Chain A
Amino acid sequence: MSRLRPMIFRISITLVFVASCFIVFYADAILIPYNGLIGSLARCVLDVIWQNSSEWLVVTATISYVIFMCFGAKNDGVSEPPLINPYLWLLACLILAAYNLLFTSLISIQTLTFFWCLFIGMAISLQIKADGEYGDSTIMSLAFVLLLIISLTISTFYQIPKWHLFKYRGVFRWSGPWDNPNLFGLLMGTGVVIAIGVLFFFMSNKLIRPVFKGLIICLFLILIMLMWRGLLYSLSRGAWVATGIGTFYLLAASDAKNSPETELLISSGAFSNHLRRIIRAHRKYMLMEVIMILCVGIIIYWNMQQTHWHPAKRAMSLTNWNDFSWRNRLLACEGALQIMAERPCLGVGWNQTELIYDNFYMPGKIFECAAITMNDYFILGTIFGLPALFCFGFYIYGSMGNTPPKKSQSPEAHRLSIACRAGVIVLLVGFWFDGGLFKLETASTFWILLELGNAETRQNV
């Protein structure tokens, strides 16, 4: 009984968290408002999340969590210099964001989404830490990751063209239950990469019987194919690039794990170390591999200009000088840089970027200002100013690439951590092209995965 009670407590807490994440993940989906009970529940969640009066509550709670992560939580006895602690950078960023909030008269969904999603990520991180007190926290992380994969796979079946607003050359772009194909593509890309990572996790697990292992592999291959199909037909170029980079990281990190000569390096889980290792392992053929991949790309490019296959056409449009989609984003980046150059310290404040860009910085040749909202890093820089942007950058770099080595981590936990980090990389790259840090679905996924990746590497398992 004495062992059962904590177990029940852990399971119920996990279930509450999983249910909360599930609801937040789908709350803003386009189909939800039309469904009876689930729709009502989702609307309630949205009302709570986007209620203006809850703003300072969630800001305070989030900052408290981060302060606790900074100073309260001990990480397996490894003492870090304060400036290397990524949570310290996050705290500085949040303080600047909160300071900015003091001068914002208009409270928006943007503000609330940012803080709520960060709050969820921090809460899960703390829960996993607390869970680790009882023993292995990998199960809870795995539960979150599996739930995410299954949710994303289910999302691929929601393809109703009449609700889709985005077309490419007359063809509907898949959006799943959401209203934006770029968002859908990014989530699918994240799902694909995480699913591959979890597949590696199961394959390397020696406790699973071969028969079950085979079943799991088949199941995961089906899930990956379904999500990959969604990714392809979202026709989201940013998501494709992000998925490619995330997959590269995942393969590099997973492949490097098998090499005994760099076992010590890999055990640190450091991003830069993984890259170094993959380069070392492939040094002999690296140049040729790169040359051949480049050559194949160039030859395909020059000979497939007339293709009628829409995904290929869409990919080719990356080099199309007449494509306003990416060119407007470039011009918007220029405008965002100009805003940051003129308001470097504290930015323009919450909700002002689009308005100020439209009125004061938008070049005459473009007449739609929405492109500036596509790059989250520039949005952060313009809202909070350069110091906050740098703090955010250091937090991400510290979380992803500068984690101190830990020797006690199990290989399984490490693989799960790599999978989460690969998902985070997909989202980080996607935030550059299409945004998502201020959208409920992608932001919640991002913070949860980031904290899961962090928690796994930091947890004394």
Chain B
Amino acid sequence: MFDQQNRLANACRVRPDICQVLVAFLRTITEFIPLLALLLFLGALLWARRQDPFSRQWFTLKVTGHKSIPCVIVLSKPIRRYPVVVYIHRSGGIGLTDGKDLRQMAEIGFATVSVEYDQTNETAFAAEFTAALQYLSRQSWVNTNAIAWVGEGLGSDRLMTFARHHPEQQPQLLVLVGGNVSTPSSNLYPPTLQWKCPLLLVRGGQDESLQVKDVQRLTAVLKSDNVPVTLKIIAGAPHDLAPERGAVFRGIGEYCLTRMAGANTWTNYHSIARWQAEAPPFWLFCLPAVAWALGHGVWRWRRRVVVPEKTPMRWYEIGLRWLAVIMAAWALTETCLHLIPPHLAVSDNTLTIARRIIIQPKQRADFETLAAQPIWAEQKLYALLEHVELAGYNRELINWQPDDPIYRDFVLSPVITGKAGEDFAWRRPLWEEFYPRIRHESSPEDAAAIVVRHLRERVTIAGPPHPAREVPAIWLQQLTDETGFEIIYVAALRSVGVPARLSAAGQAEFYAGGQWQPAPRPAVSRW
């Protein structure tokens, strides 16, 4: 770098003005702090990109005779050949607000595409949508044999009309969320004879714009006309499906994938949680900056001015050094005593250290209760400490207080199934995920409803060949069966301080109002 500068300086003789500027500029940016900051920033940028489970592409489609339409594509990594979901939003929607729905479906393994359209001009839709389909057919990552259209509200009406008028372009699956397609005056009724694609109708149970019985009647008519149609009513959800939207779109993704990819759908499922867990650590990306800092340090050290004579130290200098040594030893000892024992296996010695140094007085009773359980053989001490500290900390924050015996057995205790070799390392990831969502709730009932909703947004209930049954594995794979879901449900409830256990039938139940009761069920279980 410095040679480069010298060369540039020599070149300045030829072109003094430009070279002078370049040399000065180069000197500025190759100073220690700017270059260090630049390397750190670029490292962080690369790390963030590598950590990102999605790739997004924004583009504008030119439509002949109409104005251009912006589109956005969300692809889950690694980039491969995907089944595709084309999503058309409801009235008033814009592409920028479709991201959450697109990501929910992309998580399942789809390439999801949101296409803007002229919401005031129905006739323009055919041209706009055709342009989008043509664009997709040219992309190498599109599996043209597995395309689903998902429309919501006005989008579903437009899709329905388009599918009726263009039967040759009908997708493998058409999903209609809300909309007026089920009213007798809509374009769907009666269906065209050339209708061939299966239909999934999704409706909120409390949809104020349409009665559920009307939709059910329409479904019956369609079935009688040999149209393969499935109706899903989301209990208690309004027209816009809030607050179950996330779970519904995950459910739609699961439904589409199961119908389009066949029986082995879930065998190779790779969750985004696993993608992020497998991403390289941040420090790897900091290596260039560290190398620059070290190199600069070595260069400065080699160029230091060597003092020829050593002056003898005065008494206060010696005293100061001794003081520094004593304080360093003290600080080091304290730090080691706090940080090393948690990484050792649970034993009498480590438990004693924990009791005396690590555990705070207010947590001692919980610690003794948990340490007395015969479940910690070959477990690290930090697993035990994490349950004690986090459960205790959470108990201070939440707005309901279970009795001590209930708290210790059904909140503090990490034992859910009681099977040998049960993995207890679940409290922190679940607490970090769920606590921020329930922190303003005042009762365990409300908290449980929120927990199950968000849990369903993150975890697919399906029938994989070897379903995970340990909580950390389920959380990482984001995939399990009904039994596994109940197990992680109990863990999630306990992580936020709601006393919970598995009932005799294997269903999650929680303690509220002085009695055990079945925990709220997810709005979308398994489609």
Give the interface of A toward B (CB within 8 A).
81-84, 272, 285, 288, 291-292, 294-296, 298-299, 302-303, 305-306, 322, 324, 333-335, 337-338, 340-343, 352, 355-356, 358-361, 364-368, 393-394, 397-398, 401-402
Note all chain A residues with C-beta closer than 8 A to B437. Answer: 367
Q: Which of B41-49, B211-219, B463-471, B512-520 lies at the interface?
A: B41-49
Closest to A84 in B: B24
Note all chain A residues with C-beta closer than 8 A to B393. Answer: 322
Closest to A368 in B: B436
Note all chain B residues with C-beta closer than 8 A to A322. Answer: 390, 393
Provide the bound-state CA to CA distance between A291 and B323, in Å: 10
Provide the bound-state CA to CA distance between A82 and B323, in Å: 52
Contact B52 A288 (CB under 8 A): no
Contact B327 A295 (CB under 8 A): yes
Contact A288 B324 (CB under 8 A): yes
Contact B96 A334 (CB under 8 A): no
Contact A364 B457 (CB under 8 A): yes
**CB within 8 A of A355: which of B20, B34, B72, B96?**
B96
Q: List 12 A-B contacts (CB under 8 A).
A: A291-B324, A295-B324, A298-B334, A305-B360, A341-B45, A360-B54, A360-B56, A360-B74, A360-B99, A365-B432, A397-B28, A402-B28
Known: A367-B436, A367-B437. A338 touches B49 (CB 8 A): yes
Contact A359 B97 (CB under 8 A): yes
B328 contacts the other chain (CB 8 A): yes
* Binary per-residue interface labels of chain B (24-46) against chain A in the complex, 1 for a CB within 8 Å, 0 otherwise: 11001101011001000000111
- Residue of B37, B45, B48, B334 contacting most chain A CB atoms (<10 Å): B48
Query: Taking the nearest CB of chain A, how far is it from the CB of B428, in angstroms?
Result: 8
Closest to B393 in A: A322
Contact B97 A288 (CB under 8 A): no
Query: Taking the nearest CB of chain A, how far is it from the CB of B455, in angstroms?
Result: 11
B338 contacts the other chain (CB 8 A): yes
Provide the bound-state CA to CA distance between A340 and B320, in Å: 49
Provide the bound-state CA to CA distance between A84 and B24, in Å: 7
Provide the bound-state CA to CA distance between A93 and B72, in Å: 28
Provide the bound-state CA to CA distance between A260 and B331, in Å: 38
Query: Taking the nearest CB of chain B, how far is it from the CB of A295, in angstroms?
Result: 4
3 closest cross-chain pairs (CB), A and B: A359-B99, A337-B48, A295-B327
Contact B436 A324 (CB under 8 A): yes
B330 contacts the other chain (CB 8 A): yes
Contact A81 B324 (CB under 8 A): no
B118 contacts the other chain (CB 8 A): no
Contact A337 B334 (CB under 8 A): no
Known: A338-B49, A364-B458. A359 touches B436 (CB 8 A): no
Known: A83-B25, A334-B48. A359 touches B334 (CB 8 A): no
Give the interface SS of chain A, mostly helix, strand, loop or mixed.
helix
Provide the bound-state CA to CA distance between A207 and B436, in Å: 60
Provide the bound-state CA to CA distance between A366 and B98, in Å: 18
Contact B100 A359 (CB under 8 A): yes
Give the interface SS of chain B, mostly helix, strand, loop or mixed.
helix
B5 contacts the other chain (CB 8 A): no
**CB within 8 A of A340: which of B29, B33, B45?**
B45
Provide the bound-state CA to CA distance between A302 and B330, in Å: 11
Query: Taking the nearest CB of chain B, how far is it from the CB of A362, in angstroms?
Result: 8
Contact A356 B327 (CB under 8 A): no
Contact B98 A359 (CB under 8 A): yes
B7 contacts the other chain (CB 8 A): no
**CB within 8 A of A288: which of B56, B321, B331?**
B321
Closest to A288 in B: B324
Known: A291-B327, A364-B457. A81 touches B320 (CB 8 A): no
B335 contacts the other chain (CB 8 A): yes
Note all chain A residues with C-beta closer than 8 A to B328. Answer: 291, 295
Provide the bound-state CA to CA distance between A406 and B167, in Å: 79
**CB within 8 A of A295: which of B34, B45, B331, B338?**
B331
Contact A359 B96 (CB under 8 A): yes
Contact B98 A397 (CB under 8 A): no
Query: Given A298-B331, A352-B96, list of 15 further CB < 8 A pairs?
Result: A82-B21, A272-B31, A291-B328, A295-B330, A299-B331, A302-B334, A302-B338, A343-B58, A359-B98, A359-B99, A359-B100, A360-B103, A364-B457, A365-B432, A401-B33
Closest to A83 in B: B25
Contact B24 A81 (CB under 8 A): yes
Note all chain B residues with C-beta closer than 8 A to A402. Answer: 28
Provide the bound-state CA to CA distance between A5 and B338, in Å: 72
Note all chain A residues with C-beta closer than 8 A to B55. Answer: 342
- Residue of A303, A306, A342, A343 contacting most chain B CB atoms (<10 Å): A342
Contact A292 B323 (CB under 8 A): yes
B206 contacts the other chain (CB 8 A): no
Query: Taking the nearest CB of chain B, how far is it from the CB of A375, in angstroms?
Result: 12
Note all chain B residues with C-beta closer than 8 A to A306. Answer: 360-361
* Binary per-residue interface labels of chain B (284-327) against chain A in the complex, 1 for a CB within 8 Å, 0 otherwise: 00000000000000000000000000000000000011011001
Closest to B50 in A: A341
Closest to A275 in B: B33
B51 contacts the other chain (CB 8 A): yes
Closest to B55 in A: A342
Query: Taking the nearest CB of chain A, how far is it from the CB of B114, in angstroms?
Result: 10
Contact B74 A338 (CB under 8 A): no
B368 contacts the other chain (CB 8 A): no
Provide the bound-state CA to CA distance between A69 and B334, in Å: 56
Contact A341 B48 (CB under 8 A): yes
Query: Taking the nearest CB of chain A, how far is it from the CB of B259, in angstroms?
Result: 25
Provide the bound-state CA to CA distance between A393 and B390, in Å: 41
Query: Taking the nearest CB of chain A, how far is it from the CB of B60, in angstroms?
Result: 12
Provide the bound-state CA to CA distance between A288 and B325, in Å: 9
B404 contacts the other chain (CB 8 A): no
Note all chain B residues with C-beta closer than 8 A to A292. Answer: 323-324, 327
Note all chain A residues with C-beta closer than 8 A to B441. Answer: none
Provide the bound-state CA to CA distance between A393 and B29, in Å: 11
Note all chain B residues with C-beta closer than 8 A to A291. Answer: 324, 327-328
Contact A302 B335 (CB under 8 A): yes
Chain B positions 380-430 with a Cβ under 8 Å from a chain A Cβ: 390, 393
Note all chain A residues with C-beta closer than 8 A to B48. Answer: 334-335, 337-338, 341
Contact B338 A342 (CB under 8 A): no
Provide the bound-state CA to CA distance between A322 and B46, in Å: 27
Provide the bound-state CA to CA distance between A341 and B55, in Å: 10
B208 contacts the other chain (CB 8 A): no
Contact A294 B331 (CB under 8 A): yes
Provide the bound-state CA to CA distance between A296 and B334, in Å: 12
Chain B positions 140-169 with a Cβ under 8 Å from a chain A Cβ: none
**CB within 8 A of A299: which of B51, B334, B458?**
B334
Contact A342 B56 (CB under 8 A): yes
Query: Taking the nearest CB of chain A, how far is it from the CB of B289, in angstroms?
Result: 15
Provide the bound-state CA to CA distance between A398 and B100, in Å: 41
